[in-house]
Structure 1
Amino acid sequence: MRRSPLLPIFLTVFVDVLGLTLVLPLLPFYAEHFGATPLVVGLLAASYAVCQLISGPILGRISDRAGRKPTLLASQMGTFIGFLVLGSADSLWMLFLGRIIDGLTAGNLTIAQAYISDVTRPEERTKAFGLIGIAFGGGFLLGPAISGFLAHRFGYASPAFGAAALSLTAILLTAALLPAKQPAPAASSAAAPAGAASPAPLGRGNAFRRFFDRPLPRRRLLEFLAFSLSFSTLIGGLALFLERRFAFDVEKTGYLYAFSGLVGGSIQGGIGRLVKRLGEERLARVGFSAMVVGYGLLGVAYDLPTLLLLVAVAAFGAAVVRPSITTLLTKSVGRDEQGAALGVSQSLASVSQIVGPIAAGWLIEHRALAAYGLMAASFAALGVLLGAQKIPAGEPVES
């Protein structure tokens, strides 16, 4: 276990996520400090995602060819620079610049997931991806609470500089601890799942066509899109919702994010047992259903106990859906295609991070707080419907 590559990848992801979560609850308040409306706050979040949409498949394929470690280091360096720009911001355009720089090199999570796929057997993969969930849960537990504390007492720039310090730490951890992993050789047609095309160089368009032309990868990617749209809509407007419905400031918002992270991290610790009991497909449907309930009832939450209950239900759902769908996706493609498939999933997440925050910002700007929660829930309901469909006769199941 001491030699397992999962420990250093967990540490690097955890530190990366901790840096991200220092910034995530801060940005809406930081942008409003410079005069941004809720819609402009949504556009700020979308600017990162637009750049990530461009870079995601490219970085995924580069990591397939050049190796995970060097690509991850380059991505982390961009994140570090982006956080420094955020901390130095004295106007709204500098916030946009910082997010754009980070977005153009954003591939940390995708490459980490591809690395995990490289070093784990299919039957162990959901539990291994659960490590990323634990990293997210731990990051959301500590990062937002620290961010709210720092911003409340030392100003909005302090969490951004703290995130930059953590990003630099993640770079050093990756360089020192993560074993180099040679790119996987192209698998023969016999080794690929039935129905998979033979490997060929993939640009972004080719990658989308290759995976969406095959029923099983297409279904998995659509499920991932439903999850990403739901989660991005919720997160994209949550700070603004809390500010208007409950008069939360940045510190209280950070504490609520921390509570969500505590729930999510606790669930991830036992996800292996949940997978054994339910399987990835049923677990994903249960998680999507929990997201529908948690997000959809936000509009009727007017007191803190109700809010905390709904956040706990929704956090459980998101915590089990992400690793389950990611595992199902990696099992639906050939081993040499996993980086590209995860790159496509990252592109879909980027589309979601464009649509979700802008839609949430527009609704909240027009005081449609209940509609904001219902929109997030409707995307999760789409995930339930996709998961309930039968695999067509003759379509191969995941190995």
Structure 2
Amino acid sequence: MSSRLPIFFIVATVTIDAMGIGLIMPVMPDLLREVDGGNLSQAAIWGGILATTFAVMQFLFGPIIGSLSDQYGRKPILVISLVIMSIVYALSAIAGSIWILFVGRIIGGVSAATHATAAAYMADVSKPDEKAANFGLIGAGFGIGFVLGPVVGGLLAEFGTRAPFWAAAVLAMSNAALGWFVLHESVTDATRRAFTWKRANPFGAFKSITSFPGLGPLLLVYFFYQIGTVVYPSVWAFYGVERFEWSPSMIGVSLAVFGLCFAFVQGALVQPSIRRFGHRKTVVIGLALEATTLFIVAGITSGNILLLLIPFTALGAVGMPALQGIMSRRVSDDAQGEFQGVLTSVNSLAAIMAPLVMTRSFAYFTAPEAPVYLPGAPFIIAGTLMMIAVVIFQMRKRSSAAS
């Protein structure tokens, strides 16, 4: 039991962190219209700008935070990041203009190392054959947080658009306290590595990490996967309002259903899938399912049918922990923090590009002057990117076999 406690605590930390994110998603369309005074299409564009700003800061600072955790440990980085995030949520709660939200996204992007640092901690305490399953537990914790967060956020929206931000601030600070008191440091003198700016900047970190054999193509697959999945946080709320006239509480319910299914898949199905099909086939199955469901979602015209389809859409999540497990096993123990920082930067590159593309394509195809009314256009783009990821992964496999 004592050997499992660090894993339990890190999953609990990610769960509480995800709740803070999920709390604010149902109110974002209304909040952006409130502070900017525009319509839904304009709010979607501002949502994309804020998400991209957040992602740019994560791209620049992800490897720095990861390298700092390789030297100073995971625990202090986690706690400090959460304290800063609590302050950012409070700042957003009192925002009277779009520019205060913009500043909050800048600060939040710098400090948002929680997920990457938690993944590095998990890699530290996992045996090589346990990594994929334990990365799945992190995904499950994140999914559970999204079950609870949007539901509570939708309910709190009845008290105003600012209430969920105050709740997120309290959760982030509580999460920091939890991490301080229950997490044991996983970086030891044997695995500690000195911080250097050469590896800490994103470009130097990419060069360092891709020097590990076979990691470059896998990072490219991961990149296309992340671009594709960013469609959900980018336009789900706007898509629900436009397509099905969903209220904030209904958006919260839909996100909760997805989070519950996502948590079940990553917590219960990853390890059986890897045992049955192996890491590589599990990745292909996950990517193919993601592509299929994205194309289906794009054409749905009934909100009830979409809710019924959500369990099937979540099945694609089985592939990502398997891919992370493959990559993590190719990286040395003293570079896990740097590696997770690089994954944060890859996530950020996807989040820089995708929200602008997804929200603008949504705005273009839902505007009154649109040549074709197609609110599902972002999901078609995302499904195409998933198919590209499958092709790259399979080409890498054939290239390795030929070699």
- In the alignment, is residue 105 of structure 1 matched against residue 102 of structure 2? no
Aligned pair 1:372/2:378, yes or no?
yes
Is 1:303 matched up with 2:307? no
**Structure 2 residue aligned with 1:203:** 200
Instruction: Render the CA deviation track for 1:344-366: whole Å, top value 9, x for unaligned.
Output: 11101011111111111111111
How far, CA to CA, are the matches of 2:57 and 2:186 in structure 1? 27
- The 1-side partners of 2:343 and 2:337 are apart by 10
Amino acid at match of 1:337: A
Gaps of 5+ in 1: 189-198
Matched-pair contact (CA < 8 Å) for 1:56–1:343: yes
Q: How many residues align?
A: 384
Is 1:131 aligned to residue 132 of structure 2? no
Q: Which residue of 1 aligns with 2:120?
A: 114
Q: Distance in 2 between matches of 1:333 and 1:248?
A: 45
Equivalent pairs: percent with the same residue? 29
Q: Distance in 1 between matches of 2:153 and 2:400?
A: 51
Number of the residue aligned with 1:175: 180
Over the aligned positions, Cα root-mean-square deviation in angstroms equals 2.2
Which residue is equivalent to 2:22? 21
- Are 2:62 and 2:113, in contact at CA under 8 Å, matched by a contact in 1? yes
Deviations 1:62-121 (A, max 9, x none): 101111111111211221111111111122222222222111111000000001111110
Q: TM-score, normalised by structure 2?
A: 0.90
Please tell me the residue identity of whatever aligns with 1:292. A
- Output the CA distance in 2 between the equivalents of 1:280 and 1:166: 35
Matches of 1:185 and 1:70 in 2, distance apart?
18
Q: Displacement of 1:25 after TM fit?
A: 3.4
The residue identity in structure 2 corresponding to 1:149 is L
Give the letter for the 1:281 counterpart. R
Q: Please name the residue that 2:370 is paired with.
A: none
Aligned to 1:221: 219
How far is the alpha carbon of 1:340 from its aligned partner?
A: 1.0
Deviation for aligned residue 1:203: 2.9
Instruction: Give matches, 1:335-354, under 5 Å.
Output: 335-354=333-352
Higher mean C-alpha deviation, range 214-223 or range 80-89: 214-223
User: Are the aligned partners of 1:297 and 1:310 in contact in 2 as well (CA < 8 Å)?
Assistant: no
Q: CA deviation at 1:213?
A: 4.5
Point out 4+ residue stretches in structure 1 off by more than 4 angstroms. 393-396
1:247-262 equivalent positions in 2, closer than 5 A: 247-262=245-260
CA distance in 2, matches of 1:28, 1:200: 39
Instruction: Name the amino acid aligned to 1:154.
Output: F
After superposition, residues 78-97 of structure 1 pair within 5 angstroms as 78-97=84-103
More displaced stretch, 105-114 vs 42-51: 42-51
Q: What residue identity is the alignment partner of 2:51?
A: A
Q: Show CA shifts across 1:149-197 (max 9, x none).
A: 111x100111111011110111011000000223463699xxxxxxxxx
Q: Which runs of 5+ in 2 are unaligned?
A: 367-373
Alignment match, 1:195: none
> Could you tell me how far 1:26 is from its partner in structure 2?
2.8
Q: Encode CA deviations 1:107-155: one digit per residue, 9 max, x unaligned.
A: 000000001111110101111111111111111111111101111x100
Any idea what SS the aligned residue of 1:160 has? helix
The secondary structure found in structure 2 opposite 1:248 is coil
CA distance in structure 2 between the partners assigned to 1:24 and 1:154 by the alignment:
15
Indicate whether 1:67 and 2:73 are aligned: yes
**Mapped partners of 2:83, 2:402: distance in 1:** 42
Q: Contact between 1:80 and 1:167, CA under 8 Å: does it hold in 2?
A: yes
In 2, Cα distance between the equivalents of 1:166 and 1:200? 33
SS in 1 for 2:190: coil
Larger displacement relative to structure 2 (206-215 or 216-225): 206-215
**Greater Cα shift, 113-122 or 35-44:** 35-44
Q: Residue 299 and residue 3 in structure 1: after superposition, are their counterparts in 2 closer, same or farther (change >3 A)?
A: closer
Which amino acid in structure 2 is aligned with residue 18 of structure 1?
M
Query: 2 CA distance for matches of 1:187 and 1:66?
Result: 8
Find 1:56's aligned residue among 54, 59, 62. 62
- Per the normalisation by structure 1, the TM-score is 0.91
Match of 2:371 in 1: none
Contact preservation (8 Å) 1:26, 1:147: yes
User: Partners of 1:240 and 1:23 in 2: how far apart?
Assistant: 14
Partner Cα distance (1:185, 1:230) in 2: 38
The residue type paired with residue 199 of structure 2 is L
Q: Which residue of 2 aligns with 1:322?
A: 320
Residue of structure 2 in register with 1:155 after alignment = 160
Whole-Å separation in 2 of the counterparts to 1:393 and 1:350: 28
Provide the secondary structure at the position in 2 that maps to 1:89: coil
Match of 1:196 in 2: none
The 2-side partners of 1:308 and 1:391 are apart by 38
